[in-house]
Structure 1
């Protein structure tokens, strides 16, 4: 199976040939990675005899996989131009991300809500990365939903949810950008990202 056909397993079909060309052009090692809870993708610059390396989590939906891939290739291209002189998500990276996203806009690959979120993200200098919540929410709309899985922000006030390790929390008020949540068994307070995915605990 050639590179394009493999990429079609993870990307929208029309995007796969473009990404395959980038991999060859930049002589990049591209890896589909296991799920990493703290990040969607990763770029490593050439070091110790190794060339450019990009990895993207295997379990992303096709649109999230594409946005993450372009995000990391923009890091690669920025490094090629400026090495360590440019900030990770600075002006140079934003310009390259916008330029590298254009082919996929031209191909009309993205649904309107994702396209709008990407455009807003690129026009907003305060948004530092793909952790931008508006873009994250738009991409998550296209995930295959699991039963009872919900984001923290959608749990009603004082509602209960279960974290990945089995601990149960009560969702309380929003404190700036995170929700104050109390672990039921210990009464300890934790702060949760609004879009963190948890399991809703239904009232008995």
Structure 2
């Protein structure tokens, strides 16, 4: 995370007596919060491979769950109004310290108007955060590919990009002819063009 943000997060870990773990990469989520159960206290984990700004936003997201749990237990929905209010409140110190570059700051302020279950669901914020990722050479987002471009995903399956269907791209798996819808920011490798 950005160095200037670390003291705030350290205070939260200490204050809430929270087990904070930097976790392996999980493709289905960036972070996780577990409320106290039996002998375990609050537990938060955040994926290690996020860029510093995404790591910080995810960390605040999870701490907002913790605070909401402390205030409401099971009476509040996981991403309901109580969580949204806590997330906005807990982001404040990082705006006061000017932690974020202007492009991320602007995107977060827009996102905070009505935060969702994941920063990934806000394409504008997610797109800007992705610009700060370290990408291996040859990796590109589906939205940047020309129509009819062949690409492969992790695991080697090959697809052809076809058309935009609402917010996702219709792609055909070459081997099976099966149709899949890819999110615009899915990272793939170009195989060739047909």
1:52 equivalenced with 2:26 (yes/no): no
The aligned counterpart of 1:143 is 133
Shift of 1:188: 1.0
1:175 equivalenced with 2:175 (yes/no): no
The C-alpha deviation readout for 1:50-93, integer Å capped at 9, x for no partner, is: 11000000011101100000000001001111111111111111
1:194 equivalenced with 2:172 (yes/no): no
Shift of 1:151: 1.0
Contact 2:84 2:114 in 1 (8 A): no
Structure 2 alignment gaps of length 5 or more: none
Whole-Å separation in 2 of the counterparts to 1:22 and 1:124: 24
1:36 equivalenced with 2:26 (yes/no): yes
Whole-Å separation in 1 of the counterparts to 2:11 and 2:190: 43
Whole-Å separation in 1 of the counterparts to 2:185 and 2:4: 29
Structure 1 alignment gaps of length 5 or more: 1-10
Whole-Å separation in 2 of the counterparts to 1:61 and 1:202: 29
Shift of 1:44: 0.6
Whole-Å separation in 1 of the counterparts to 2:76 and 2:183: 29
**Cα RMSD (Å):** 1.3
Whole-Å separation in 1 of the counterparts to 2:187 and 2:28: 13
Shift of 1:177: 2.1
Shift of 1:158: 1.2
Which residue among 66, 69, 87 is the counterpart of 2:77? 87
Whole-Å separation in 2 of the counterparts to 1:55 and 1:128: 16
User: Matches of residues 122-141 of structure 1 in structure 2 within 5 Å?
Assistant: 122-124=112-114, 127-131=116-120, 132-141=122-131
The aligned counterpart of 1:7 is none
Contact 2:104 2:128 in 1 (8 A): yes
The aligned counterpart of 1:18 is 8
The aligned counterpart of 2:148 is 158
The aligned counterpart of 1:3 is none
Contact 1:89 1:129 in 2 (8 A): no
